[in-house]
């Protein structure tokens, strides 16, 4: 079998980590008898450099025509990047938001799982870690503050900026259904996170989620305010199975959750629409501080590639093999700098990719 994959290397560490993911995918293809045909697509700063915009219509068309999209990360260094001096719509990040909207990728799955082997890299106390934890953050990805009306004005020399947080019930229902469906395949618990003590949009969120829950009597639903959730994530992460939340809260909570799994370099993600199509990218950014130095952890991207095989291409066996290879490399004591602990062997981005590909 052969599949068409649009590849967006992006900016900063993006090209480095995507290269390693492709290496691992190709090893899996060889072993399990499939071929991935890659078409490179420019997005973010890489696209601004060439086309003057962060995402072209042609790039969107290429992504749409593919079986799935594999992405590195986009974004520049605010201190050195010329993009930041340009108009806001020329920001590299605008390309990412545009592709999410254009492809209707409303469901963002961010699994935060503590590998047995990475307990040493987890900043939490042993009694909090216990037997480890395993949660799925279900982040709504095409609504809320990111896509609400916004403008900046100036009146009498005073500048004012407005962002709008808006959701309609259909947007909430479809992500809630995804969350409950996933909970059914896991430990049957959904924690819906909102700010219903303040925000109207959160009160609507809570009411729609409760409605959806009626169709899932086998799944326990609890509501949690977002500030409490941020605290509970470090106090007792074991309590969470599926965290269901809106766009901005999910962005912030997933970075926090990543750190309790050892590093942001471990957190993969899948962004899905109503079909089998998806965009797969690590949850972290372009890390300009370590770009081009062979320091980036490619595991989040490699695990995202495994999700691509599983969700979009139905290549479950190959996905299992990649996940097992990651676990084995960690068991064998290899670590990139971000997850390094005593007694382990420090490796760079490329060697980590080689080691995982070998074990596939």
218 assigned binding-site residue: no
Whether 163 is catalytic: no
Q: What is the DSSP string of 291-330?
A: TTTT----HHHHHHHHHHHHHTS--HHHHHHHHHHHHHHH
Helices of type H across the chain: 14-32, 45-51, 57-65, 92-102, 126-129, 169-184, 200-213, 226-235, 247-260, 299-311, 316-331, 349-359
128 assigned binding-site residue: no
Which partner, Mg ion, ligand NAD, ligand IPM, none, binds residue 265 by CB below 5 to 8 Å per kind?
A: ligand NAD
Whether 195 is catalytic: yes
333: which residues sit within 8 A by CB, 6+ positions away? 343, 344, 345
Whether 255 is catalytic: yes
- State which of residues 20, 93, 140, 241 lies at the interface with ligand NAD (CB under 6 A): 93
103 binding ligand IPM? (CB under 6 A) = no
Near ligand IPM in 252-311, by CB under 6 A: 283, 285
Given the complex with ligand IPM, which of 263 and 283 has the nearer CB atom? 283
74 binding ligand NAD? (CB under 6 A) = yes
96 binding ligand IPM? (CB under 6 A) = yes
- State which of residues 179, 265, 278, 353 lies at the interface with ligand NAD (CB under 6 A): 265
- For residue 236, which of 133, 118, 113 has the smallest C-alpha distance? 133
4 assigned binding-site residue: no
Near ligand NAD in 301-340, by CB under 6 A: 338
Residues listed for the chain: 360
353 assigned binding-site residue: no
Q: What are phi and psi of 78, to 5 degrees?
A: -55, -30
Q: Which residue is nearest to Mg ion (CB)?
A: 251
Neighbour count for residue 189 (Cβ, 10 Å) = 16
Closest distance of CB 10 from ligand NAD, Å: 6
Provide the β-strand partners of residue 98: none
**In the block, residue with structure tokens 């050195």:** 80
49 assigned binding-site residue: no
Candidates 11, 251, 338, 354; catalytic one: 251
Q: Give the count of residues interacting with ligand NAD (CB under 6 A).
A: 20
247 assigned binding-site residue: no
Which partner, ligand IPM, ligand NAD, Mg ion, none, binds residue 264 by CB below 5 to 8 Å per kind?
A: ligand NAD
Q: What is the DSSP string of 344-359?
A: PEE--HHHHHHHHHHH
Closest distance of CB 302 from ligand NAD, Å: 10
- For residue 52, which of 21, 22, 23, 89 has the smallest C-alpha distance? 89
Closest distance of CB 257 from ligand IPM, Å: 12
281 binding ligand NAD? (CB under 6 A) = yes
Tell me the CA distances in angstroms from 278 to 181, 189, 234, 331, one per residue in order: 17, 25, 30, 30
Cα 206 from Cα 321, distance rounded (Å): 39
Candidates 113, 255, 320, 327; catalytic one: 255
Tokens of 249: 């809260």
Whether 346 is catalytic: no
Whether 227 is catalytic: yes
- State which of residues 70, 208, 287, 313 lies at the interface with ligand NAD (CB under 6 A): 287
Candidates 3, 115, 146, 167; catalytic one: 146
290 assigned binding-site residue: yes
Q: Are 175 and 107 in contact (CB under 8 A)?
A: yes
Pairing of strands 150-155, 134-140: unpaired
Given the complex with ligand IPM, which of 18 and 219 has the nearer CB atom? 18
Which parts of this chain interact with ligand IPM (CB under 6 A)? 75, 93, 96, 251, 283, 285
Show binding-site residues for NAD(+): 285-297
Which residues form the catalytic set? Answer: 146, 195, 227, 251, 255
Q: Which residues are annotated as a binding site for Mg(2+)?
A: 227, 251, 255
């Amino acid at each position: 079998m052969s599949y068409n994959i649009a590849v967006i290397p992006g900016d900063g560490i993006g090209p480095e980590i995507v290269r390693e993911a492709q290496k691992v995918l190709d090893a899996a293809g060889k072993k399990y008898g499939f071929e991935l045909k890659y078409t490179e697509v420019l997005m973010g700063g890489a696209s601004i450099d060439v086309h003057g915009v962060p995402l072209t219509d042609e790039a969107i068309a290429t992504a749409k025509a593919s079986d799935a999209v594999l992405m590195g990360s986009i974004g520049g260094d605010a201190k050195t990047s010329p993009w930041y001096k340009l108009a806001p719509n020329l920001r590299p990040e605008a390309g990412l938001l545009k592709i999410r909207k254009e492809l209707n990728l409303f469901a963002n799955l961010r699994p935060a799982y503590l590998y047995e082997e990475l307990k040493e890299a987890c900043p939490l106390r042993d009694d909090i870690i216990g037997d480890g934890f395993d949660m799925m953050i279900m982040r709504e990805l095409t609504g809320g503050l990111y896509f609400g009306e916004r403008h900046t004005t100036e009146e009498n020399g005073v500048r004012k900026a407005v962002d709008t947080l808006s959701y309609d019930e259909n947007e909430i229902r479809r992500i809630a259904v995804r969350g409950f469906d996933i909970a059914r395949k896991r430990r049957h618990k959904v924690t819906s996170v909102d700010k219903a003590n303040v925000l109207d949009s959160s009160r609507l969120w809570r009411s729609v989620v409760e409605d959806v829950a009626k169709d899932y009597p086998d799944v326990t639903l609890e509501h949690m305010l977002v500030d409490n959730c941020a605290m509970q994530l470090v106090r007792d992460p074991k309590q969470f199975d599926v965290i269901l939340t809106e766009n901005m809260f999910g962005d912030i909570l997933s970075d926090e959750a990543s750190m309790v799994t050892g590093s942001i370099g471990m957190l993969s993600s899948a962004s899905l629409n109503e079909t089998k199509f998806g965009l797969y990218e690590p949850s972290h950014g372009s890390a300009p501080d370590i770009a081009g130095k062979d320091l980036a952890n490619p595991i989040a991207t490699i695990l995202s590639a495994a999700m691509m095989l599983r969700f979009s291409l139905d290549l479950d066996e190959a996905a299992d093999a990649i996940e097992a290879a990651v676990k084995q490399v960690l068991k064998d004591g290899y670590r990139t700098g971000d997850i390094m602990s005593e007694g382990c062997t420090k490796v760079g981005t490329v060697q980590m990719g080689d080691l995982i590909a070998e074990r596939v």
